[in-house]
Amino acid sequence: MKNDFHFLDKKEIAEKIIDFNHNNITTVRFTIPSIYCSSCILTLENISKYHKSILESTVDFSRKQICITFNNSNIKLSELAELLNKMGYCPSINFESIEKQGKKNIFDKKLIGKLAISFFCFGNIMLLAIPGYVGAYKEPWFLENRNFFRYLMLILSFPVVIFSLLDHVKYAFLGLKKHIINIDVPISIGMLVLFLWSFYEIFFDLGYGYFDSISSFSLFIIISRILQIHTHNKILSFNKNYKSFYPIMVTKVHNKKEKKVFLSSLKKGDIILIRNEDIIPSDSILIKGEAVLDNSFITGESYLINKKIGDKIYAGSKQKGEAILLKIIKNVDHSYLSLLWKKSNYSSHYRKKLFYLNSISTKFSQFFTPIILTISIITGIYWYLNDDIQKMFQTTFSVLIITCPCALVLSTPLIFGNIIRFFSKKKFYIKDIFTMERISTIETLIFDKTGTITDPNKEKIFFVGNIKYEEKKIIASLLRNSNHPLSQKILSELFVNDFYTVKNFKEIKGKGLEGNIKNKSVKIGSKKYLGVTINDNQKTAVFISINKKLIGYFLFRNYYRKNIKKIFKMLNEYKIVILSGDQNELEKNYLKSILPKTGKIFFNQSPEDKLNYVKKLQNKGEKIMMFGDGINDCAALNQSEVGVSVSENTIGFFPNCDAFLQSDCLDKIFIFLKISKFSRKLVVINFIISLFYNVIGIYFAVTGNLEPLIASILMPLSSFSVIFFSIISTFLVSRKFIF
């Protein structure tokens, strides 16, 4: 029955599945149950080639979801759903499941149905084939009734062949359209040829065909597929629980009191405070302040959008200006922010995916199928020239079955996925397996100072000058809009709970803040930003001016993280660099004393300076992992091969980062890096095991010593061996280094 998606064009229905909508740009998420493999991901993430109005698409494999950004003036939501349906990826739209996100079966009903039918057909075909196995073909009664058994096996094989060919031919065709020869090509060819030959044998009374091999292969490949889905959903889906995936807290306002709470605890109707550079965590209504929004994380376009009181603001927008108050109108959708984190990597970090292990996987996939096709063809020609037609089909199909690369496909995500899960238990939250691959190749470590290797919770603050309560209130009102560690530290020391409205707020990263409060011009920041001429570079200071008059400055006495000297000592095999916006020469001298001799320190660095330094090292071929607070350092973090935001559990969400590290676990970074390098070796070992398995299997297949039936049984065992090795090896490694 043809699917009708016109109901999606109704506004009240569309709003339930739309994540973002502004002017002509819409972002929507569909659940696609038929996402099974890397070919599906490749096809769906290139859906923009099928329609010019589709701007971008990102697939979340573990949730079987696709997030699509499109121009709604040229294509309707119903037309988009219909396009997916025509491609063979019919969206599953169940509004009850939309309201109860994540509470669904990990296997779709069609796959379970195929498994049941394949099992029924396989069992009966094998039952009918048993007389032939035990030599009953010599019995007169069996010879007289042989056609009944043969044609019954043929009839039972039809559903199996139709199910299998529909799946494999579709994905083979989609791959060929993208000029990719995937594993579905030889599987489709092998099953079709073997079925036609079996039909030929029965029709001309030459034999019983290979229906037992066809049915067993179909059954076991479905079992293997279910095994992969189970693995991805249960073992690799480390992002299912947002609260355990990466630390994020937001400021909730209740009875005019502000309190830091976990994002997961927010519910519809709550009031939250969003500061400059904060990401809006849920669809909300603006109730106070001036919202100036950057939607580049959602749409990819960097222009700013102004919102007024009462306007709806979508999750994923970033505030660029003064602090605003929002009322949540939709429960927080954790998976959307997780998808947003991954999506930010898709466009700006594509170069990051071109690394050692991933390139091996990619090159292997490109050459594996053509090589297997060549081997099977040569094998078939050899046996044909030796006048053994039965051996020709037996060996050709056995080669295609035994070399099914399901195990190889699972190798990299299993190893790195498990390591990511173990890391998350120790408060190091990594975006994806591509990030893990890059971490395993890192050579240079760059650290920001303030809020990264220093502990803002233990810093002592001294104010130099005279300050009245009214001035404290003005200063606190401006600082309240910023998420910078120094701003938040000063704000907590002022003990002000009532704030003034700030107009024309502006924050210049690495320099300071400014705005108009009660018709007074207020600036807070570095002495260079305020034009101060005090000659004192021995202390970290934040200067305050009201109406261009300096009223004083805050001095900071830095406290470094626990075991900071030991941390740098353990990392002596890496090149270590510290980039800081600080001007305190005493701090610089102390850092020199605890860094390795090869370590470098650069103070008075602006965000642009940090970015340019990272680019300079990359031009020399160095692979960089940078640790920063995620605010002033976001450009340099984004440019680095791996950007790590060091969090106190009180900062906002920064999709530019590749990983989050809770600050009290910074002393474990050496262990994390060591395990990452070791996990790369585990992936290589897994590849070797899989290749060894395939080489042995090919040898027995081409020599005619491997029946297709046995090959189809051994095929899923290769997947099991890879899964078993991956789970056991990563468990032992994590136990040795972490627990």
Q: pLDDT by residue (tens digit) across 423-460?
A: 888 888 888 777 888 898 899 999 988 778 888 777 78
Q: How confident is the model at residue 558 (pLDDT cuts 50, 70, 90)?
A: confident
Q: How far apart are CA 342 and CA 592, in angstroms?
A: 37
pLDDT for 647 beyond 50? yes
Per residue in 399-417, pLDDT (tens digit) is 776 776 555 556 677 788 7
Max avg pLDDT among 387-396, 609-618, 712-721? 609-618
Q: Among 647, 660, 180, 252, which residue's Cα sits nearest to residue 455?
A: 647
Which helix (H) or strand (E) segment is 685 a member of?
helix 669-702
**pLDDT > 70: what percent of the chain?**
80
Distance of CA 548 to the CA centre of its chain: 47
Q: How confident is the model at residue 493 (pLDDT cuts 50, 70, 90)?
A: confident
Contact status, residue 153 vs residue 208, Cβ threshold 8 Å = yes
The CATH number of domain 245-332 is 3.30.70.1230: no
pLDDT (0 to 100) of residue 239: 44
Average pLDDT over residues 698-711: 76
Q: How far apart are CA 278 and CA 319, in angstroms?
A: 6
Architecture of domain 460-557: 3-Layer(aba) Sandwich (3.40)
Distance of CA 531 to the CA centre of its chain: 44
pLDDT (0 to 100) of residue 232: 54
- Residue 601 token pair: 């320190």
Q: How far apart are CA 217 and CA 663, in angstroms?
A: 51
- Listed in sequence order, the residues at least 6 apart from 711 whose beta carbon sits closer than 8 Å to its beta carbon are 213, 217, 397, 398, 401, 402, 697, 701
pLDDT (0 to 100) of residue 405: 58
SS3 per residue for 75-112: CCHHHHHHHHHHCCCCCECCHHHHHCCCCCCCCCHHHH
At 3, the amino acid letter reads N
pLDDT (0 to 100) of residue 97: 44
pLDDT (0 to 100) of residue 64: 78
Contact status, residue 127 vs residue 211, Cβ threshold 8 Å = no
Beta bridge partners of 273: 251, 325
Beta bridge partners of 552: 544
Beta strands of 441-528 (E only): which ranges? 444-448, 460-464, 503-508, 512-517, 520-525
pLDDT (0 to 100) of residue 265: 81
pLDDT (0 to 100) of residue 62: 64
Per residue in 205-256, pLDDT (tens digit) is 777 777 877 787 777 777 766 665 665 555 544 444 434 445 567 889 988 7
CATH topology agreement for domains 6-99 and 426-455+560-676: no
Average pLDDT over residues 386-394: 78
CA distances from 365 to 39, 179, 679 (A): 11, 13, 21
- Listed in sequence order, the residues at least 6 apart from 727 whose beta carbon sits closer than 8 Å to its beta carbon are 235, 414, 418
Average pLDDT over residues 592-612: 88
Contact status, residue 623 vs residue 438, Cβ threshold 8 Å = yes
Average pLDDT over residues 308-324: 89
Contact status, residue 431 vs residue 739, Cβ threshold 8 Å = no
Phi and psi for 730 in degrees, rounded to 5? -70, -35
**563 dihedral zone (left: phi>0; alpha: psi -120 to 50; beta):** left
- Residue 339 token pair: 């998808």
Q: How far apart are CA 154 and CA 157, in angstroms?
A: 5
Which helix (H) or strand (E) segment is 117 a member of?
helix 109-133
pLDDT (0 to 100) of residue 355: 45
Distance of CA 119 to the CA centre of its chain: 35
Count the Cβ atoms, other than its own, within 10 Å of residue 41: 16
- Contacts of 637-640 with CB under 8 Å at 24 or more apart are 638/348, 638/349, 639/611, 639/614, 639/615, 640/446, 640/614
pLDDT (0 to 100) of residue 407: 56
Name which residue leads in pLDDT, 361 or 648. 648
Q: Which of 60-64, 370-374, 527-531, 561-565 has the lowest mean pLDDT?
A: 60-64
Q: How far apart are CA 368 and CA 181, in angstroms?
A: 9
pLDDT (0 to 100) of residue 578: 93
Contact status, residue 444 vs residue 616, Cβ threshold 8 Å = no
- Residue 287 token pair: 């109730």
Max avg pLDDT among 160-164, 392-396, 611-615? 611-615
pLDDT for 586 beyond 80? no
Architecture of domain 426-455+560-676: 3-Layer(aba) Sandwich (3.40)
Q: How confident is the model at residue 4 (pLDDT cuts 50, 70, 90)?
A: confident
Average pLDDT over residues 382-396: 81
Per residue in 134-186, pLDDT (tens digit) is 666 667 777 788 888 888 988 998 888 887 777 777 777 766 766 666 666 76
Average pLDDT over residues 78-83: 90
**pLDDT > 90: what percent of the chain?**
14
Sequence ranges of the domains in the chain: 6-99, 109-238+352-413+680-737, 245-332, 426-455+560-676, 460-557
Q: Which residue has the tokens 């202390």?
A: 539
For 186, how many CA atoms within 13 A lie in the half-sphere containing its CB?
A: 23
pLDDT (0 to 100) of residue 103: 44
Average pLDDT over residues 513-540: 84
Distance of CA 557 to the CA centre of its chain: 39
Average pLDDT over residues 626-631: 82
Count the Cβ atoms, other than its own, within 10 Å of residue 381: 12
Q: Among 309, 308, 306, which residue's Cα sits nearest to residue 295?
A: 306
Contact status, residue 379 vs residue 176, Cβ threshold 8 Å = no
Q: Which of 186-190, 370-374, 519-523, 613-617 has the lowest mean pLDDT?
A: 186-190
Name which residue leads in pLDDT, 596 or 401. 596
Which helix (H) or strand (E) segment is 413 a member of?
helix 406-425
pLDDT for 7 beyond 90? no
- Listed in sequence order, the residues at least 6 apart from 359 whose beta carbon sits closer than 8 Å to its beta carbon are none
- pLDDT, the chain, mean: 79
CA distances from 118 to 126, 234, 570 (A): 12, 25, 56
Q: Among 646, 652, 639, 638, which residue's Cα sits nearest to residue 672?
A: 646
Q: How confident is the model at residue 281 (pLDDT cuts 50, 70, 90)?
A: confident
Angle at 14 between CA 8 and CA 17, to 5 degrees: 110
Q: Among 342, 411, 499, 461, which residue's Cα sits nearest to residue 682?
A: 411
DSSP state string for 199-228:
HHHHHTTS--TTHHHHHHHHHHHHHHHHHH
pLDDT (0 to 100) of residue 225: 67
Fold of 6-99: Alpha-Beta Plaits (3.30.70)
Contact status, residue 460 vs residue 557, Cβ threshold 8 Å = yes
